[in-house]
Amino acid sequence: EREEPHYFGAGPALLPTSVLQEAAYDLVNYQGVGIGIGEISHRSKQASEVIDNTKANLVSLLNIPDTHEVFFLQGGGTTGFSSIASNLTASFVKKTGRKGRAAYAITGTWSKKSVEEAQRLGLDVDIVLDSKKVDGKFGSIPPVDKWSIPTDLSNTSYVYYCDNETVNGVEFKEFPFESFPGVEVVADMSSNILSKRLDVSKYGLIMAGAQKNIGLAGITIYIIKKSLLEQADDATLKALEVPLSPIAVHYPTVVKNNSAYNTIPIFAVHVVNLVLRLLVKNGGVDAQQKINEEKASILYGALEKFPQVYELPASTDARSHMNVVFTLNGDLDAEFLAQAAERKLNGLKGHRSVGGMRASIYNAVSLHSVQELTKFIIEFAEAHS
Ligand code: PMP
């Protein structure tokens, strides 16, 4: 039991209370078998059902076409940074016999970390966009004519971007797919998966850690184009100095074993499945997107009304619908946070690298919570204008 929290933390983040209650029960005794979901074998009928059900719910919520496969890995988004680099390069080698060069668009903290990891592993990389270099700070997504895209893309193994930059509050409306013909597009959607409609068919790979919109830390969702599961063999990769994927994150091996090549944290997958079931029941992604748009609109609307008090570092057309980043003019951070806490509005402190405030309004954060926060933002501004 708990009072409904108004919690705006960036991740781990709020989950629906009913999901947590059901999960807590299942942790003790799952489907009346007398032991909990975390205690049964990861190869049992129950565990396989959890995996299959979760995949089926993702397929239906996101209209994932037959050309694509869903699988799960441990290790969070950060493990995605490295596993994407090694696995997708191995797919490119299979197709072309060449190592190729990976293209990265950098629009904030997480895409930057991802490209650094690819370089650490020894990939050759083309930075097709670094928005900080274009604008002096992370906060916008410059139009594609400001990007540096190689004219010949035949040696580009994949192009990577982060759909929603959690720290900087910057979100793509639409990736410029048409500027990368024939190149596999890879997206990190850790902080906005299932928050809005998505055309999966346009992607080679989508990766999303669960702990923001859809579950607990411990499991990461991958949606991959099946043709990319064809990889060159180890000897060929070694000869080309392509890093081998550790076996636990070797995509073909994981897929062949229905995500249970090694012990999968089945409780974490079960929680995702409970979240997905609730989302289906509440009208799916379309209904959720509508609510999310309303939440973002009232919050940004209130902040914009008081430019003497609040600043919005992200440019209007690139504002995230999930992470609303704002700063306070003057030395008001501590006072703002203290007064917010008095109203039980919590989790608002911005990321240490950018400071200020960040209200994360993921799927589980209700319109009511956002209305309460908006009320406070207006009253605080009126008292300080
Ligand atoms: N990508 C994005 C967009 C994120 O927000 C985060 C974490 N906040 C990560 C990747 C890294 O995830 P993890 O901590 O699970 O490695």
- Three-state helix/strand/coil letters over 143-159: CHHHCCCCCCCCCEEEE
The reply to whether ligand 1 has any atom less than 6 angstroms from the CB of 160 is: no
pLDDT value at position 15?
97
- What is the per-residue pLDDT across 305-322, written as a single tens digit (0 to 9) for each? 999 999 999 999 999 999
Helix (H) or strand (E) holding 68: strand 68-73
The reply to whether ligand 1 has any atom less than 6 angstroms from the CB of 362 is: no
Question: Side chain identity at 280, as an amino acid letter?
Answer: V
pLDDT value at position 36?
97
Q: If you take atom 3 of ligand 1, which residue's CA is the nearest one?
A: 190
Q: Which of 354, 358, 363 is nearest to 346 (CA)?
A: 358
pLDDT value at position 353?
85
Atom of ligand 1 nearest to the CA of 163: 3
- What is the per-residue pLDDT across 53-68, written as a single tens digit (0 to 9) for each? 999 999 999 999 999 9
pLDDT value at position 385?
85
User: Residue 262 and residue 256: Cα distance in Å, rounded?
Assistant: 12
pTM, to two decimals: 0.98
Helix, strand, coil percentages (3-state) for the chain, rounded to 5, are 40, 15, 40
Q: Which of 188, 199, 192, 190 is nearest to 159 (CA)?
A: 188
Segments of the chain with pLDDT less than 50: none
User: Residue 8 and residue 369: Cα distance in Å, rounded?
Assistant: 9
Alpha-helical (H) ranges within 243-283 are 251-256, 266-281
Q: How far is the CA of 236 from the centre of ligand 1 (A)?
A: 32
Q: If you take atom 2 of ligand 1, which residue's CA is the nearest one?
A: 190
Q: How far is the CA of 100 from the centre of ligand 1 (A)?
A: 26
The reply to whether ligand 1 has any atom less than 6 angstroms from the CB of 363 is: no
Choose one of 191, 206, 362 to mutate for the ligand 1 pocket test, by most ligand atoms within 8 angstroms of C-beta: 191
User: Residue 376 and residue 258: Cα distance in Å, rounded?
Assistant: 47
Name residues whose C-beta falls within 8 Å of residue 313's C-beta, 6 or more positions apart in sequence: 137, 139, 168, 169, 325, 326, 327, 354, 356
Q: How far is the CA of 12 from the centre of ligand 1 (A)?
A: 10
The reply to whether ligand 1 has any atom less than 6 angstroms from the CB of 209 is: yes
Name the token pair of 116.
Answer: 């650094």
The reply to whether ligand 1 has any atom less than 6 angstroms from the CB of 188 is: yes
The reply to whether ligand 1 has any atom less than 6 angstroms from the CB of 268 is: no
Residue 158, phi then psi, degrees to nearest 5: -165, 160
Q: 185-188 and 205-209: which strand pairing? A: parallel
Q: What is the number of other CB atoms lying within 10 angstroms of the CB of residue 254?
A: 25
User: Residue 268 and residue 277: Cα distance in Å, rounded?
Assistant: 14
Q: If you take atom 10 of ligand 1, which residue's CA is the nearest one?
A: 77
The reply to whether ligand 1 has any atom less than 6 angstroms from the CB of 36 is: no
Q: How far is the CA of 378 from the centre of ligand 1 (A)?
A: 31
User: Residue 311 and residue 307: Cα distance in Å, rounded?
Assistant: 6
Helix (H) or strand (E) holding 175: none
* 89 neighbors 123 (Cβ within 8 angstroms): yes
The complex's ipTM works out to 0.99
Query: 76 to each of 88, 107, 221, 266, how far by Cα in Å?
Result: 18, 20, 9, 15
* 247 neighbors 91 (Cβ within 8 angstroms): no
Q: How far is the CA of 16 from the centre of ligand 1 (A)?
A: 21
Q: How far is the CA of 333 from the centre of ligand 1 (A)?
A: 25
User: Residue 324 and residue 358: Cα distance in Å, rounded?
Assistant: 5
User: Residue 341 and residue 188: Cα distance in Å, rounded?
Assistant: 32
The reply to whether ligand 1 has any atom less than 6 angstroms from the CB of 216 is: no
Name the token pair of 203.
Answer: 């992607």
pLDDT value at position 1?
87
pLDDT value at position 356?
94
Q: How far is the CA of 77 from the centre of ligand 1 (A)?
A: 5
The reply to whether ligand 1 has any atom less than 6 angstroms from the CB of 184 is: no
Atom of ligand 1 nearest to the CA of 220: 15
Query: 42 to each of 51, 164, 265, how far by Cα in Å?
Result: 10, 32, 8
pLDDT value at position 354?
86
- What is the per-residue pLDDT across 126-150, written as a single tens digit (0 to 9) for each? 999 999 998 899 999 999 999 999 9
Question: Side chain identity at 27, as an amino acid letter?
Answer: L
Query: 349 to each of 64, 139, 178, 354, how far by Cα in Å?
Result: 36, 18, 38, 10
Atom of ligand 1 nearest to the CA of 10: 8
Catalytic positions: 110, 188, 212
* 153 neighbors 201 (Cβ within 8 angstroms): no
Domains along the chain? 22-280 (3.40.640.10), 283-383 (3.90.1150.10)
Atom of ligand 1 nearest to the CA of 162: 3
User: Residue 291 and residue 332: Cα distance in Å, rounded?
Assistant: 30
